[in-house]
Amino acid sequence: MSRKMLITLIVVMAAVLSGLIFVQANMIKSASDIREEQFNRSVKNVLLFVSTQLNLYEEREARENARLQKLPIKTEIPESFNTFPRNNNIQSSLSFGVSIINKASNRFIQDGYKIEIKDSLNNISATDSLVIAQLFIREQQRRRELWIRNDSWKTHKILLEGRPVKERIDSTFLDNLLKAAIAETGIGINFKYAIKNANLGKEKIVFGNHDYNPGRSKEFNQHLFRHDFDGPKPNYLNIYFPKRSRYLLKATGLSIIPTIILTALLIGIFIYTIMVIFRQKKLSNIKNDFINNMTHELKTPISTISLASQMLQDKSITNTPAMIQHVSNVINQESKRLGFQVEKVLQMAVFNEGRLKFKFKEFDINKMIKTIIENFELRVKSKNGTLKVDITDSELIVKGDEVHITNVIFNLLDNAVKYSNETPEIEVSAKKIKEYVVISVRDNGIGIPKEHQGQIFDRFFRVPTGNVHNVKGFGLGLSYVKKIVDSHDGKIEVESALNKGTKFSILLPQINN
């Protein structure tokens, strides 16, 4: 898959996933809004129901008062009653009396009560006019009392409406009514309520829960006694739920949690898929490089062997014993080289399949290093290099597969020679640090760039060297080293600086004898 096609695929998948997330987010928001609207509607219905019940409660009280002919307020006129409190002179009373007389007929009869009117209004004195006015007012009061004491409960309802709101509402009845109504809706959370009065635009709590303090919580209110005879008064029933947000989140979560989980899984799968695609792309490039390197590595000894075989078959060349010996040595060396390369690839394949078996035993690291140095020293000296060894006479005993540990040290020394400058300077040391035996191999080579130090133990990976191809290899050596060390419960560390050399340190658990 080309890079352009890969980027296009990622962009399309990201767009589709973003659209899906957007749709899911809208669905979650819609579900949350619907749940909140249902909650708000239920609370408003409860408040409306409670308001209606309070009206009905007062209506029943009015009917009972009407049945018992019970007056909730004093209706008799006091002796100091003044029809016009702003005008206290006799002339005003006289004017009122004359006005009444002008509207009256010569005889005013109401329920057997009789008032005689003089023939001539001009001869009525001020005192007589005041007496007539007082008689008329008392008659009106008598008629009002008769009207109140009839069987009409609405009359008593009007009288009850004149009371303060605290007297119109039974707090115990209201508390029980609210609890029952809210429980009926299925809202199983605590609430706080208060009766408020808003006279002159200033709110005041009349009664309710002593700790009523909504703060930032949503507050619901309902106008009380809206259908009073004298018009609604600014009395309100207020309520709020301290844990409303948590309740809505919990109620909504039951329906949206599966959606959130599935969306999160989808995002995770998408990210994982992208990572796998890039990893496979990278692995594909590495394998291509490996195949190219392997082709060159295998082609060289094969070509040499083929050329040597042709020399033996060529009759124009004198096949002297010396020539035959030389060609035989070439064929033998190149065959070994070819076999070594093939064996390295097969060995790594066996190791990756888990079929590689170890023979663990206790051995001395110092003795193993001495043996390796004896076999490797000639190769270093052939390049006019130096190989220093820093080991102690005391034993450093570890338990592991001596053959594979030896191969690990050989691989590190081989890299130290291949990646060193013209005159390699290599140092091998072994010492005890805490519970580990630390084997170090230091060189003065080209070093490893910092950005590639975390990849050098990957299979087939080779540090890019631009157009320089003087070092051949498959990129399997350090991968093999890492797997062997890990199999021995050890650690491998690398310290390197570009053009200043590299140091590999292998830490193996020590056995204390």
Mean pLDDT of the chain: 77
What pLDDT, in 10s, does the model give residues 12-42? 888 888 888 888 788 888 888 888 899 999 9
Check if 247-351 and 357-509 are the same fold: no
Residue 371, pLDDT > 50, answer yes
* Arithmetic mean of pLDDT, 78-99: 39
Pick from 137-141, 230-234, 288-292: least confident: 288-292
What pLDDT, in 10s, does the model give residues 288-314? 766 766 676 677 678 778 877 887 777
Pick from 4-13, 63-72, 112-121: least confident: 112-121
In angstroms, the first-to-last Cα distance of the chain is 58
The amino acid present at 345, given as its one-letter code, is V
User: In the beta sheet, which residues pair with residue 399?
Assistant: 362
pLDDT at 75: 42
CB contact set of 20 (below 8 Å; sequence gap of 6+):
263, 266
Q: What is the dotted CATH code of the domain comprising 247-351?
A: 1.10.287.130
| pLDDT band per the 50, 70, 90 thresholds, residue 45 | very high
% of the chain with per-residue pLDDT over 90? 12
State which of 66-80, 92-106, 230-244, 271-285 shows the largest mean pLDDT: 230-244
Domain ranges of the chain: 3-69+162-242, 90-148, 247-351, 357-509
The DSSP letter of residue 235 is E
**Consecutive H or E run containing 28:** helix 3-68
The amino acid present at 40, given as its one-letter code, is N
The strand pair at 386-390 and 425-433 is best described as parallel
CA distance 445 to 424: 7
Residue 106, pLDDT > 50, answer no
Arch. (CATH architecture) of 357-509 = 2-Layer Sandwich (3.30)
Residue 89, pLDDT > 60, answer no
What pLDDT, in 10s, does the model give residues 467-491? 444 555 556 678 888 888 888 889 9
Burial class (CB in 10 A: 0-12, 13-18, 19+), 415: buried
* Arithmetic mean of pLDDT, 142-147: 66
